[in-house]
Amino acid sequence: MTFQLRRTELSDLPILLGWVPTSTDLVLWSGTSFHWPLDLDQLAQDLEAAPENGRILWTAVQGDGLPVGHASVITSDDGTIGRFGRVLINPVKRRKGYGRTLVERSVEAGFTETGIDLMTLGVYEHNRANRALYAELGFEETGVVFDTELDGRTRRLIEMSCPRTSFRPFHPWEEKTLTA
Ligand SMILES: CC(C)(COP(=O)(O)OP(=O)(O)OC[C@H]1O[C@@H](n2cnc3c(N)ncnc32)[C@H](O)[C@@H]1OP(=O)(O)O)[C@@H](O)C(=O)NCCC(=O)NCCS
């Protein structure tokens, strides 16, 4: 099954909403960008304001056109730095390799579609799989950490960054296929 990245559309939002069933999922996905309970109005306002905020939102779709994932980059005012985030895979499609492909392709799209020189992100310290994935792509931990609240517990958020020249995608875009 093929996997493609396209810009997020209004019609994707009800599907996306269904992938964020709890307040913990909301924070894991988007930090403090939205408030709980998440609803279509918040998502629609965010999508509408994306161009003026310098944000690009992508939906990953399977070969049959069904959305399977979501990711985003927001660029700094001077256009040199991008912040990668909002990584989300449909809960019933997890652990099949979609997340890995989504991260690879959306970071690559972030570099390609904007003029940024550096991509940054924040990842929870306990999320070892994602930290390793970002490291494989060329991200390094900057040494900066933030303490954040997640489910009443303090969790460390680790800053990582990747200069354009250090980005190492796993595969050429065209060749990547996944089995459902
Ligand atoms: C994080 C997320 C995008 C991963 O998507 P996915 O499709 O399950 O990821 P993949 O199947 O491509 O797996 C990527 C790697 O993470 C590992 N992994 C994925 N979920 C894991 C879990 N719950 N526990 C341990 N390892 C896990 C996989 O083994 C794989 O490692 P490998 O490449 O060394 O084999 C998905 O779990 C998700 O949407 N989570 C909720 C939102 C979130 O946490 N966003 C990320 C914030 S940094």
Using the atom order of ligand 1, give the atom closest to the CA of residue 127.
48
- Rounded to the nearest angstrom, the distance between the alpha carbon of 38 and the centre of ligand 1 is 22
CA neighbor of 18 nearest in space, from 85, 67, 73, 58:
67
| Per-residue model confidence (pLDDT) at position 172 | 55
The burial of 119, by beta-carbon neighbours within 10 Å (0-12 exposed, 13-18 middle, 19 or more buried), is given as buried
Domain 3-175 has CATH 3.30.1950.10: no
Q: Is 28 in the pocket of ligand 1 (CB under 6 A)?
A: yes
In order along its 180 residues, the chain shows pLDDT tens digits of 578 999 999 999 999 999 999 999 999 999 999 999 999 999 999 999 999 999 999 999 998 999 999 999 999 999 999 999 999 999 999 999 999 999 999 999 999 999 999 999 999 999 999 999 999 999 999 999 999 888 889 999 999 999 999 999 986 544 444 444
| Per-residue model confidence (pLDDT) at position 1 | 54
| Per-residue model confidence (pLDDT) at position 170 | 86
| Per-residue model confidence (pLDDT) at position 3 | 84
CA neighbor of 170 nearest in space, from 100, 112, 82, 123:
100
Cα separations (Å) of 45 from 40, 48, 87, 93, 146? Answer: 8, 5, 19, 27, 28
Neighbours of 106 (CB within 10 A): 24
Would you list the domain boundaries of the chain? 3-175
